[in-house]
Each structure stands twice: as C-alpha cells, then as structure tokens.
Amino acid sequence: MYSEDLIPGLKFAIEHELTRREIEVFVLFLEKPLTNSEVAEVLRAMPSTIHKTVQRLKMKRLLVLKDRDSSGNYLYKINPSVVQY
C-alpha cells in the first residue's frame, strides 16, 4: 500500500472517529452497495454486530440507505456528500 493512499485514509478515519470495526465495514462499501448479511458473510461476523456497526456509520452520516434488494433486505451505500472517492 502506498503512503499517498494510506495517509488520507488515516486522516479520514481520525476525523470521523472510526473504530477498527467501522473501518473494516466501511471499506467494503467502496466497491458497491451491500446488505448487512453480505457484509457479515465477507467479514465472517455475526449479523447483529454488523447491523450495529452499520447503524453507527449511518449516525455518522457516512452510509445512507440506497434501496432494497429482491429479498427485501436494505442496501446501503457510501454517502456521496460526505465522501469523495
């Protein structure tokens, strides 16, 4: 990993007071909108833990609700007004 990428990421994490778990979850949303169960599967974590983490990211205005998938699960995406990527 290059320091040109790492340093702005660290500044962003410090600015938004992100925990290690919040960073792990947040990074997954950089690629595409996901559901809590998809994130839990990738991180091999309990869905309730992921749900709480996503809720904290929503409270910090870093994630927003995008839509529902075909199963009725909520899809979350990164808030474009807060994050430029």
Residue 1 — very low, low, confident or very high, per pLDDT cuts 50/70/90? low
> Is residue 68 pLDDT above 80, yes or no?
yes
**Which residues have C-beta within 8 Å of that of residue 61, sequence separation ≥ 6?**
79, 82
CA distance 62 to 80: 8
Distance CA 71, CA 36 (A): 13
pTM of the shown model: 0.85
Sign of the C-alpha dihedral, residues 44, 49, 50, 53?
Answer: negative
**pLDDT level of residue 85 (50, 70, 90 thresholds):** low
Q: pLDDT digits over 17-64, tens only?
A: 999 999 999 999 988 999 999 999 999 999 999 999 999 999 999 999
**Ordered alpha helix ranges (H), the chain:** 3-15, 20-28, 36-43, 47-59
pLDDT band at 70 (very low <50, low <70, confident <90, very high): confident
Domain 19-78 -> CATH class: mainly alpha
Name the residue type at position 18: L
